[in-house]
Structure 1
Amino acid sequence: MRSAFLLLALLIGVHTFHIKEKPNSKNHQDITLIAILRATAKVCESAEGFEKPKPLTAETLARSCKKDAFAGNFQSGIKIISYYNQQTDTDHPLSSKHHFDSETFRDGKLLIIKGLDAITTFMKSGKFEDAQKTLGQILHTLQDFYSHSNWIEMGYAEPCTALINLEENIPNPADAKTETCETGTKDTNTGAKIKDNIIENKILTSGYFGASKKKGKCSHGGTLDFTTGFRRGWDGINKDAIDSSHGSLHHKAANVAIAASVQLLEKIWKSNDDPTFYRLVGLHQDKPKGNFKTIFSFFTSKSRVADASEDSN
């Protein structure tokens, strides 16, 4: 039992945009914070005299939205959503669809679409704690797409809107037989080499993590990714942090993940109304509910969510 818990602890943070802070890297909490601030600022634009504040923080935005009395609730709401985001790693550390690993694009999208429907249902019935939990979970999956797939390597600088729109098809996913990465490459500190024809033809793939990896497919990469071979953890395509296999693309992946998260939040807003959206993110007179002792202790030790402004990287 002890070894199982140790393995789980090691897996957390090496399989996804990181939970703990890493120098010059954005983790899930940073990405979620920035996205909520930007999306909420757009909702607030209709307020009389609104000017987007600089720096953009939970406190300055609440003031600009003429809701400064609810700044503390707003910070709590962001922390709750971010907590459930990172809990996806704890609850589903080896589930490919929750992280868009192993080319599970259809199943990952289905999680997001079902989550969006559930959020609206919860909001309409006043179950905002359930809505926040579900929001955090699907934001995690959405954000991981940009770190774990080759979307950024193909040159895309905008989000894949098909992931949040049922009627859109995911563009050109690789089939099970298509080889996507070169094999036997040397360690050049640049990670795995995606095959030229995959990039040229814009064929979508993602790294495999675990025993499901097929010959010729890309690996996720990282210390515990044994699909790459013994002592070849560098040989993957993830962009979870700047020291990851394709870490040189980390900031591009994080920035597109932020933009995608804003799009998802705007979709929720447009499916509901301004007051309901404010309640969802916590910018409301009703204090968000949750296990604050557990949630806030996590952020006290591991993150700066809701206490810092969004940065420009």
Structure 2
Amino acid sequence: MRSAFLLLALLIGVHTFHIKEKQNSKNHQDITRIAILRATAKVCGSVEGFEKPKPLNTETLARSCKKDAFASNFDSGITMISYYNQQTDTDHPLSSKHHFDNEAFLDGKALIIKGLDTITTYMKNLKFEDARKTLGQILHTLQDFYSHSNWIEMGKTEPCTALINLEENIPNPADEKTETCEKDTTNTNSGAKIKDNILKDNILTSGYFGTSKKKGKCSHGGTLDFTTGFGRGWDGINKDGSDSSHGSLHKQAADMAIAATVQLMEKIWKSNDEPTFYRLIGLHQDKPKGEWKSVLSIFKSKSRVSDASEK
């Protein structure tokens, strides 16, 4: 019964940037693919004669990077990272820290920072399959921050760099007693209403997901989020898709998640070197392999392998 419930949750896409393709929405696979392509284009900037291709996809970018023989491996590398990204929902569906739910900002950041250190260790020891798995996992958590918190509602125009830098503090998180959302609001098709003072004072919060929440806190929202109360699945702040509680802000959240993912990929590049980075993402003669192949037909990104905004 539990496994059936979790499968239903994943297929509906109630707790994260959606896994299934949805009209006018970007899922984790889209966000990850676009971001890795953009980050790789920056790394390839040092290649003599490099010009960022349009459209930007694994084939055109591999050619521009003078690594066209590895285009297929590049596509497999991104697909593997994306696979382990979405697996976070299967492995940790109710873990607040893995999705930045329930205002678990410190714990979520700790996952990302530890993951970055682990990736570097794996890369130095040539364990690239393990590095890709860890990368996919922490990218999921990082990307969820922008959909599940009120970062977008506060009008932020740049990613929260504190999530990937140990020395930075997460800016102004709400304490456990601070009420963040209005109670007893009516359904106006715009989701939960975040309190005016929370947005005015730039207080960071995120929605609660599960069966209960603290008094006055915001809910995640969605069909299987029971913190909203019966018949109030709309009463949340998530931006997982265009049809979510705060779906009007989905595009901004997805774009910010892409930008944040690019920053994290650049951090990995600068903590290592270009050849090692290329091998991590599959732009290398060694073809990525792993257990992901057994379910690749289900989760592999389909036709949307280009960044439409850069065509």
State the TM-score, normalizing by the size of structure 2: 0.97
1:214-253 matches, cutoff 5 A:
214-253=214-253
Corresponding residue of 1:304: 302
Q: Structure 1 CA distance, aligned partners of 2:239 and 2:47?
A: 38
Moved >3 Å (runs of 4+): none
Shift in Å, 1:215: 1.1
Q: Structure 2 CA distance, aligned partners of 1:53 and 1:312?
A: 12
1:1-313 matches, cutoff 5 A:
3-12=1-10, 13-299=13-299, 303-304=301-302, 308-312=305-309
Shift in Å, 1:289: 1.8
Q: Structure 1 CA distance, aligned partners of 2:150 and 2:4?
A: 30
Q: Structure 2 CA distance, aligned partners of 1:295 and 1:116?
A: 26
Q: Structure 2 CA distance, aligned partners of 1:20 and 1:144?
A: 16
Q: Deviations over 1:264-307 (max 9, x none)?
A: 0000000000000000000001111212532421235xx327x6
Q: Deviations over 1:45-82 (max 9, x none)?
A: 00011000000000000000000000000000000000
Q: Structure 1 CA distance, aligned partners of 2:287 and 2:32?
A: 20
The answer to whether the 8 A contact 1:79-1:295 is kept is no
Shift in Å, 1:261: 0.2
Q: Structure 1 CA distance, aligned partners of 2:294 and 2:22?
A: 22
Q: Structure 2 CA distance, aligned partners of 1:210 and 1:89?
A: 14
Could you tell me which amino acid in structure 2 is paired with residue 121 of structure 1?
Answer: T
Shift in Å, 1:227: 0.7
Q: Structure 2 CA distance, aligned partners of 1:67 and 1:292?
A: 24
The answer to whether the 8 A contact 1:25-1:242 is kept is yes
Aligned residues: 308
The answer to whether the 8 A contact 2:181-2:217 is kept is yes
Q: Structure 2 CA distance, aligned partners of 1:295 and 1:310?
A: 25
Q: Structure 2 CA distance, aligned partners of 1:259 and 1:143?
A: 10
Q: Structure 2 CA distance, aligned partners of 1:63 and 1:121?
A: 30
The answer to whether the 8 A contact 1:59-1:68 is kept is yes
Q: Deviations over 1:119-174 (max 9, x none)?
A: 00000000000000000000000000000000000000110000000000000000
Q: Structure 1 CA distance, aligned partners of 2:287 and 2:305?
A: 21
Q: Percent identity?
A: 79
State the TM-score, normalizing by the size of structure 1: 0.97
Could you tell me which amino acid in structure 2 is paired with residue 213 of structure 1?
Answer: K
Shift in Å, 1:213: 0.7
Could you tell me which amino acid in structure 2 is paired with residue 193 of structure 1?
Answer: K
Q: Mark the runs of 5 or more structure 1 residues left unpaired by the alignment.
A: none
Shift in Å, 1:308: 2.1
Give the match's secondary structure for 2:46.
Answer: coil
- TM-align CA RMSD: 1.1
Q: Structure 2 CA distance, aligned partners of 1:94 and 1:179?
A: 23
Q: Structure 2 CA distance, aligned partners of 1:188 and 1:225?
A: 19
